Amino acid sequence: MGTAPWKQLLLNALESNSTLKHSSFFQLATIGSNGRPSNRTVVFRGFEENSDKIQINTDCRSRKIDDLKHCPFAEICWYFSDSWEQFRINGNVDVINGSCPDPLKLQQREKAWFGSSPKSRLQYLGPNPGLPTLDEKPSQESSLDPSAGPVDAFCLLVLDPEQVDYLNLKINERLTFAAKQSIDGEKFWTVERVNP
How many Å apart are CA 11 and CA 77, to the nearest integer?
15
Does residue 139 sit within a domain? no
Predicted TM-score (pTM) of this structure:
0.91
CB atoms within 10 A of CB 77: 15
Q: What pLDDT score was predicted for residue 2?
A: 62
Q: What pLDDT score was predicted for residue 76?
A: 98
Does residue 46 sit within a domain? yes
Mind listing the pLDDT tens digit for each residue in 18-53? 999 999 999 999 999 999 999 999 999 999 999 999
Position 131 confidence tier, pLDDT thresholds 50, 70, 90: confident
Domain that holds residue 73: 5-127+149-194
DSSP strands (E only) in the chain: 25-31, 37-43, 54-59, 73-80, 85-96, 154-168, 173-181, 187-194
Query: Mean per-residue pLDDT for 65-75?
Result: 97
Interior angle at CA 75, CA 39 and CA 115, nearest 5: 85
| Cα–Cα distance list, 119 to 81, 125, 137 (Å) | 27, 11, 21
CB 108 within 8 A of CB 48: yes
Please say if the pLDDT value at position 160 is more than 90: yes
Position 147 confidence tier, pLDDT thresholds 50, 70, 90: confident
Q: Specify the 3-state DSSP secondary structure of 12.
A: helix
| Cα–Cα distance list, 51 to 55, 147, 159 (Å) | 11, 28, 11
- The one-letter code for the residue type at 15 is E
Q: What pLDDT score was predicted for residue 185?
A: 87
Does residue 140 sit within a domain? no
Please say if the pLDDT value at position 136 is more than 80: no
Please say if the pLDDT value at position 142 is more than 80: no
Does residue 114 sit within a domain? yes
Does residue 135 sit within a domain? no
Does residue 142 sit within a domain? no
CB 96 within 8 A of CB 105: yes
Beta-bridge mates of residue 190: 178
Does residue 168 sit within a domain? yes
Does residue 136 sit within a domain? no
Domain count, the chain: 1
What's 76's domain CATH number? 2.30.110.10
Mind listing the pLDDT tens digit for each residue in 98-128? 999 999 999 999 999 999 998 899 989 888 8
